[in-house]
Each structure stands twice: as C-alpha cells, then as structure tokens.
C-alpha cells in the first residue's frame, strides 16, 4: 500500500477531498519524522513504537574481497516494534507447518 492508496481509501470513507486527506497524512508523517530526528520515541497505541537506536561500530566484509575488513562506524537508525494488535493480525499470515512424514 502506498501513501496515495491510503489517501484514496481514507477519502472515500470520510467524504473528505483527497487533498485534505493528503495534507493530514503528510503532516502526520512530517511530525513523526521530526520527533525521530530529535531522538524522541513515537508511540502509536495499538499500532507500534518508532524509536531511534544507535548501532555499535563493527567490522564488515567486502564480498568481492573477503580478506579485507571494512570498518562500519556507529550510526543512528530507526527501529519499529509492532503493537500487540498488529502482531496478532500479522501472525495469522504464518503458513501452517506441514507435518513430517512418518517412516
């Protein structure tokens, strides 16, 4: 689903114009990005939590030259942890485990 798909769907359900919905969706995303850029955690109940974590520095490998170490510096990244309701909905997509054939 793209932002455009989201805007169209909300517009049809709320009788707001697509431009009004786009403005609200974009402003929401801007505020989330701004909070994360300031190092704050964004918690959306029943959806999930966005937070900034700092990855530690590490040594990587160049697949074209495996003998050569490549230092990867520490950096800040955004992590997302799904809320309970989302996790419960997504877990339903798990394919059933096939039973092992008996000997």
Which of 18-27, 63-72, 75-84 is least confident? 63-72
Residue 71 CB partners (closer than 8 Å, separation 6+): 57, 59, 60
**12-43, pLDDT tens digit by residue?**
999 999 999 999 999 999 999 999 999 999 99
Give how far Cα 103 sits from Cα of 60, 96, 97, 100, Å.
44, 21, 18, 9
Residue 7: is it exposed, middle or buried by C-beta count within 10 angstroms (0-12/13-18/19+)? Answer: buried
> In sequence order, what are the beta bridge partners of 4?
none
Whether 58 shows a pLDDT value over 90: the answer reads yes
Q: What is the pTM of this model?
A: 0.75
C-alpha–C-alpha distance, residues 82 and 88, integer Å: 10
């Amino acid at each position: 689903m793209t932002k455009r798909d989201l805007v169209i769907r909300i517009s049809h359900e709320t009788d707001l114009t697509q431009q009004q919905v786009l403005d609200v969706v974009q402003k929401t995303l801007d505020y989330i990005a701004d909070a994360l850029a300031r190092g704050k955690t964004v918690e959306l109940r029943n959806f999930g939590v966005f937070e900034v974590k700092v990855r530690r520095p590490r040594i990587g490998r160049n697949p074209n030259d495996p003998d050569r170490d490549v230092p990867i510096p520490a950096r800040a990244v955004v992590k997302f942890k799904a809320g309970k309701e989302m996790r419960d909905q997504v877990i339903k997509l798990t394919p059933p485990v096939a039973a092992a054939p008996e000997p």
